[in-house]
Structure 1
């Protein structure tokens, strides 16, 4: 039997959006737990699909409880599911993410959310030295038909310290994150072929991941850092 995203995901979260308080949630917790069990099967299916063509060592489904300690938003519950899929380190780099949220806010994401300081510098130095390979990947029609032809994410305003503002790759160098996202409507998420669509998109990111894994496991002379 094929796994599909249950309609209850969107219906429950729409109700939670209007009743985001502990009394309502505790009263409706049995409904949430039943729905959560079905959603875990969805994420497990994505995990298994990924491992047919990649090496994923960890699936993490994030809890519904919000950490409100340092947030102005004191609502106690998230109104979405999020789950990440980590590739085996240190040999493989990058990760996958699936976000399920009503009102056409679902999406998948791939890339590097918070690169470590050393990794970020290594990526920037690579682009400074030679940006031809990454631009070839971004320009590929199959790749950018799914993921677009540019990164999203935070960046510095002009240039990081030690890099020239007028460098021809400054658009890449000034990035602090290297992320791609693809959005889906509620209707698309609930369709029978959604998980196949997600897996096709994740497969298409591999040229980028292969390139970045090579960069982050070698020094600027191409000597392996992990052997």
Structure 2
């Protein structure tokens, strides 16, 4: 990872096509090393979960609708998707100097899935609160993250005891890593343990999204 971090630091200072072209061979070498690391995590994670695939994000940015016109990302990222429709939730690793993390969850749930989740929490939030207050969950992630709507969603009581959960429109978990931690020999192990710590949360959310409000399977 050291070479990758050094490259990204230089890229941040020289985020232009001319510099990138001159250093393209170094970039390609780092991409190969990253791919070995990302694939190794995939293989290990597959032993504990049923994964649909791996997506290594490109460093090239889509700047068409962005105010920031710098052409390259200053991070390397990878996503691991679970086998839908029965297994939900996605894993993600980002490697970036000063901003590395391992996380995952539900970034942009479809409207029907979001409503189903909210309805479940409206009926009972006991199970989800048990999961996110579990010692292991708190140790790795602290709390459930994600953006929320400002007020109660339409059709929901603003005074509901679980309104903070119901208001969420994203359901995310994240564990940040310092540069020193990423460069340590045990980072691969820690990254895998962090991904595995998401499983109780993922499995419960999958149960919600594969059943109706009566608990009957929908697939």
Which of the five TM-score ranges fits, normalised by the shorter chain?
Answer: over 0.9
- In the aligned structure 1, how far is the partner of 2:83 from the partner of 2:129? 26
* 2:44 matches 1:20: no
Post-superposition offset of 1:179: 0.1
Aligned equivalent of 1:207: 200
Q: Which of 105, 109, 126 in structure 2 is aligned with 1:132? A: 126
TM-score (ref. length: structure 1): 0.95
Q: What secondary structure does 2:81 align onto?
A: strand
Q: What secondary structure does 1:153 align onto?
A: coil
- Cα deviation code 1:132-156 (max 9, x no counterpart): 00011111112211111x3211110
Aligned equivalent of 2:93: 98
Matched length: 219
Aligned equivalent of 2:25: 30
TM alignment of 1:1-227, pairs within 5 A? 6-102=1-97, 104-148=98-142, 150-226=143-219
In structure 1, stretches of 5+ residues that fail to align are: 1-5
- In the aligned structure 2, how far is the partner of 1:95 from the partner of 1:162? 29
TM-score (ref. length: structure 2): 0.98
| CA RMSD, Structure 1 to Structure 2 (Å) | 0.7
Q: What secondary structure does 2:112 align onto?
A: helix
Post-superposition offset of 1:110: 1.4
Post-superposition offset of 1:184: 0.3
Q: What secondary structure does 1:108 align onto?
A: strand
- In the aligned structure 1, how far is the partner of 2:134 from the partner of 2:148? 24
Q: What secondary structure does 1:25 align onto?
A: helix
Structure 1 stretches of 4+ with a deviation exceeding 4 A read none
Aligned equivalent of 1:3: none
In structure 2, stretches of 5+ residues that fail to align are: none
- In the aligned structure 2, how far is the partner of 1:24 from the partner of 1:141? 47
- In the aligned structure 2, how far is the partner of 1:196 from the partner of 1:12? 24
